[in-house]
């Protein structure tokens, strides 16, 4: 893209974000949910590339266990979920404490988070990870989260202001590991999103997800082994009315050996898979999660967008 086009796009993004900041909070809860369903349906119909990726991922995960129509229903639901996440960034930005208290609840299993400190909280792009940070901070146990910076500085500052609405702390991505270690040593809770492609040379390790190898950051295992803090997998999903409920899983303890870090990362992948199977329409299926094909594996097992991993990218053998 040319510099001129990037500037035009940035201005457009800023105008849309500013408009959403002003208008979305004025909607009733039912209006936000209805708008998310409408935008999700439109996105499913018009975003052909993202829809193709989502359906290919569902083929990888479920094979013939689900019909084509069932996979389309789940993919459409994923578009709706993502639309709700975006709208709720702005909707919960107004009267934040009152709205979070009224529309977010905690399952008893989330006590694994509340009763453990310090801890490494691990979550995914499942349901609404943003509102979960707001809710835990409102409850009195704010996470120390890492947010990747956006190219648009205006929108980036706006979103971080919304994220801090109930006291959540945001760490910059650069130097985040050192910052999180310091936070853990003083008894804080560090929060990480781990369902993204992180190659071995960038601190990742290959684990199995839905029967296929995917690269996942072993940051959580590393932080836990260096600080002694356990790992708790958490997630927050919405029902049809737009009410969120947060869930947690029993703590994992990472060892100091490298092999144990890999085992813990694999266990996190297993917990993620179980959660996705329970709430399939709440995961971000549009993301190219099976993007890399490790050496020795058949390309037939992977979706159309996957590519063979180069030797220098593969890192050390598993």
- pLDDT tens per residue across span 38-90: 999 999 999 999 999 999 999 999 999 999 999 999 999 999 999 999 999 89
Number of domains in the chain: 1
Of 22-36, 65-79, 155-169, 191-205, the range with the lowest mean pLDDT is 155-169
pLDDT at residue 104 greater than cutoff 80:
yes
Q: What is the mean pLDDT of the chain?
A: 87
pLDDT band at 21 (very low <50, low <70, confident <90, very high): confident
Residue-wise pLDDT tens digits, 282-306: 999 999 999 999 988 889 999 999 9
Tokens 């985040």, located at residue: 176
| pLDDT for position 314 | 57
| pLDDT for position 318 | 42
pLDDT at residue 207 greater than cutoff 70:
yes
Q: Where are the alpha helices (DSSP H) in the chain?
A: 3-23, 29-46, 48-62, 68-91, 96-103, 111-114, 129-138, 153-163, 176-185, 219-227, 258-278, 311-314
| pLDDT for position 313 | 57
pLDDT at residue 228 greater than cutoff 80:
yes
pLDDT at residue 8 greater than cutoff 60:
no
Please compute the mean of the pLDDT values over residues 202-223 and round it to a whole number: 95
pLDDT band at 156 (very low <50, low <70, confident <90, very high): low
Tokens 């977010």, located at residue: 104
pLDDT at residue 161 greater than cutoff 90:
no
Mapped onto helix, strand or coil, the DSSP state of residue 121 is strand
pLDDT band at 22 (very low <50, low <70, confident <90, very high): confident
| pLDDT for position 98 | 95
Structural domain boundaries, residue 222? 3-314
C-alpha to C-alpha distance for 290 and 299, rounded to whole angstroms = 11
Q: What percent of the chain has pLDDT over 90?
A: 64
Of 32-36, 86-90, 152-156, 212-216, the range with the lowest mean pLDDT is 152-156
Nearest to 115 by CA among 234, 254, 219: 234
C-alpha to C-alpha distance for 259 and 195, rounded to whole angstroms = 20
Residue-wise pLDDT tens digits, 241-286: 999 999 999 999 876 555 688 999 999 999 999 999 999 999 999 9
DSSP helix, strand, coil percent of the chain (3-state; round to 5):
55, 15, 30
Of 3-17, 107-121, 179-193, 225-239, the range with the lowest mean pLDDT is 3-17
| pLDDT for position 16 | 73
pLDDT band at 125 (very low <50, low <70, confident <90, very high): very high
Cβ neighbour number for residue 307 with a 10 Å cutoff: 11
Is pTM beyond 0.85? Reply is yes
């Amino acid at each position: 893209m040319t510099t001129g086009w990037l500037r035009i796009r940035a201005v457009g993004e800023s105008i849309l974000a500013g408009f959403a900041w002003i208008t979305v909070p004025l909607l009733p809860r039912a209006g936000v949910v209805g708008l998310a369903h409408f935008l999700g349906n439109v996105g499913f119909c018009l975003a052909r590339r993202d829809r193709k990726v989502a359906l290919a991922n569902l083929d990888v995960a479920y094979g013939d266990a689900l019909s084509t129509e069932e996979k389309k229903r789940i993919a459409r639901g994923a578009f709706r979920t993502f639309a709700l996440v975006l709208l709720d960034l702005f909707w919960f930005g107004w009267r934040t404490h009152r709205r979070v208290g009224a529309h977010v609840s905690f399952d008893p299993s989330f006590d694994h988070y509340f009763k453990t400190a310090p801890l490494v909280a691990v979550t995914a792009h499942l349901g609404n990870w943003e509102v979960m940070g707001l809710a835990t901070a409102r409850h009195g146990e704010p996470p120390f989260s890492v947010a990747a910076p956006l190219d648009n500085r205006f929108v980036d500052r706006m979103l971080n202001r919304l994220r801090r609405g109930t006291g959540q702390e945001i760490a910059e991505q650069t130097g985040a590991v050192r910052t999180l270690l310091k936070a853990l040593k003083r008894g804080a809770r560090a929060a990480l999103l781990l369902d993204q492609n992180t190659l071995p040379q960038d601190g990742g390790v290959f684990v199995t997800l839905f029967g296929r190898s995917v690269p996942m950051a072993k940051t959580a295992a590393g932080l836990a082994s260096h600080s002694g803090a356990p790992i708790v997998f958490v997630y927050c999903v919405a029902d049809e009315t737009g009410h969120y409920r947060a869930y947690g899983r029993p703590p994992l303890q990472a060892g100091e050996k490298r092999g144990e870090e890999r085992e813990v990362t694999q266990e996190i992948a297993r917990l993620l898979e179980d959660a996705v199977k329970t709430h399939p329409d709440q995961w971000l299926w549009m993301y190219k999660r099976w993007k890399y094909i490790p050496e020795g594996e058949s390309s037939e097992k992977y979706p159309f967008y996957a590519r063979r991993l180069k030797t220098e990218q593969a890192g050390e053998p598993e």
